[in-house]
A and B are shown apart, each in its own frame.
Chain A
Amino acid sequence: MNKMVITGATIVTLLVIMAVCAPLFSSYDYKEQNIAERLQPPSSKHLMGTDEYGRDVFTRMLYGARISMSVGLIAVLIATFIGIILGSISGYFGGVVDNIIMRFVDIVLTIPTLFLILILVVFLGPSIFNIMLIIGLTSWTDIARIMRAEVMSLKKIAFVDAARLIGLRKREIILRHIIPNAVSPIFVYMTFGISGAILIESGLSFLGLGVQPPQPSWGNILTAGKDYIHSAWWMIAYPGFAIFLSVFGFNILGEGLRDYLNPKLKKEDL
């Protein structure tokens, strides 16, 4: 296991633990307002200080992690699912089908993603589920392309021919032989997808189009914080750092996995 994988995996695991076990780490309620204690700097009572309503920032950060992690994961699962299916069909069948799907990919790519997301959010409403769906529906193109390339090369490989000799139907060949061998690089892109999704969600929440108050998200903690940059640095520093750390963690995990998975395919003969 190389260092990047270990670093990335450690960071990701920590974040997931904090998200999942949020109630264990803090006894505060993220909604609980306490105007008397608003805008307090970090102390032993409030590890990351309080926000403009006196709510404990640390607690809100923990519950915000839940949003980031789950949006990241589910959006990517949706994108991967769509990408694998379209990429496999395109790569395996080739010809007209491949052309149609790839032109569709090109069209999706010409649309500026951020604006598409904004428009969809405005129309469909900013619920967490909608955000997951929208991010998933707009970020499958990379995965589709990679899948298509892998499938195209696997199509020619001997054990796929062997499957044809046994009389397996096309569907069975794709599911049993091609997809399992094509997915290694997909794992790498999934990690990048998660970090991307976290950034998009944070951005949406920052713009007020994401998670709605009082539900906390790193993005909307930042929004509130921007009005108090000079007086309450903790409301910007902590969510900012958390976003940075999670994106860094997933990215470096992805990079490490990419290096780790590749040489394994080569076998050395003495």
Chain B
Amino acid sequence: MQNIIEVKKLNVSYKISKTEYVYAVKNIDLNIKKGESVAIVGESGSGKSTFANSLLNLLPANANINGSIKIQNQEIINKSNKDLMNIRGKVAGIIFQEPGASLNPVFTVKEQIEETIKAHNKDINKEELKKQVIYLLKETGINDVERIYNSYPHQLSGGQQQRIMIAIALSCNPSILIADEPTTALDVTVQLQIINLLKKLKKSRNLTLILITHDLHLATFVADRVIVMYAGEIVEDNKIKSIKDSHHPYTYQLFKVVPDINKEKGDFVLIKGEPPDLKILKNQCYFYERCFKAKEKCKNQHPDLIKNIRCFYPL
């Protein structure tokens, strides 16, 4: 199967003052095949959001990108917005954490979905347009279609708003769907609905699904392949379903530390310390200070990604 996304030596840094740069993402090499479902897991500072945004070049003005990102064999980096129009929406759609913030409050749902379709298909006629919009709303599980069709975003619940966002992202039939923390801002019961919707849509549309999340359980629930990021790098990239499949100490410790419904009161496992300051990274394993398996070598050398694990002493 072909690689639908190929990332080579991706580096993204942000300019934070006249002389200072901070690396958000370092030396990422990554290939994703068509039809895969991948979850990228990380905490703050891991670089996962930066990576997600760089895929469609949605980075802010003070970002510096180096390397290569190819989607369906087309290079993304240094492409103009006009050229990227062919990829954004058409090949890859994206949804974000706060659906309310991504929807324009002065336009109805109908207008916003139509706007996206028309942007990529200028000559579409009114009837066909309406048909497509209604179809999308139904497909994303909206029940009261006629009412929602004419509603404004603020009249909808968080879950409904996110469904609209998914409809917009899929309106031009992309092959890839990127979901950046899509359920973090939603209520618990709604979260499960939206996640199941994403899984269903992946199957029915044969999408390549890329889920960005900080929730390890969510990652293993949705995706076969889990990529764990730490301090801007990939530290593990494997088929992970549970703690037994983890080979990097961070992944292992993350499984132990994550809130678990099976724990009892007082059942705590901790990772000591805090995620590192990205401005002052030393030439060592970035996880050294917090690792329960750290040895002398980890303090003095920075490990490369070998067999998809960035560790001198994998588990």
Contacts and interface: CB of A to CB of B under 8 A. Distances in A.
Asked if the two chains touch in their complex, CB atoms less than 8 Å apart, one says yes
Nearest to A270: B24
Interface residues of A, number: 2
Nearest to B49: A270
A270 B44 CA distance: 7
B197 interface: no
Interface string B33-47: 000000000001101
Interface string B7-41: 00000001000000010100000000000000000
B175 interface: no
Chain B residues touching A, range: under 10
Contacts of B278: 270
Interface string B271-289: 0000000100000000000
Interface in B159-205: none
A interface: dominant SS: loop
Interface string A248-270: 00000000000000000000011
A269 B278 CA distance: 12
A270 B279 CA distance: 12
Contacts of A269: 44
Contacts of B14: 270
Interface string B41-59: 0001101011000000000
Contacts of B47: 270
A268 to B, nearest CB: 8
A224 B185 CA distance: 69
Nearest to B25: A270
A270 B52 CA distance: 12
Nearest to B24: A270
A269 B45 CA distance: 8
Contacts of B24: 270
Nearest to B47: A270
Nearest to B50: A270
A34 to B, nearest CB: 55
B88 to A, nearest CB: 23
A270 B54 CA distance: 13
Interface string B136-159: 000000000000000000000000
Nearest to B16: A268
A270 B232 CA distance: 10
Contacts of A270: 14, 22, 24, 44-45, 47, 49-50, 278
Interface of B: 14, 22, 24, 44-45, 47, 49-50, 278
Given A269-B44, A270-B49, A270-B278, 5 more contacts: A270-B14, A270-B22, A270-B44, A270-B47, A270-B50
* Minimum-distance CB pairs A-B, first 8: A270-B24, A270-B45, A269-B44, A270-B50, A270-B14, A270-B278, A270-B22, A270-B44
10 contacts: A269-B44, A270-B14, A270-B22, A270-B24, A270-B44, A270-B45, A270-B47, A270-B49, A270-B50, A270-B278
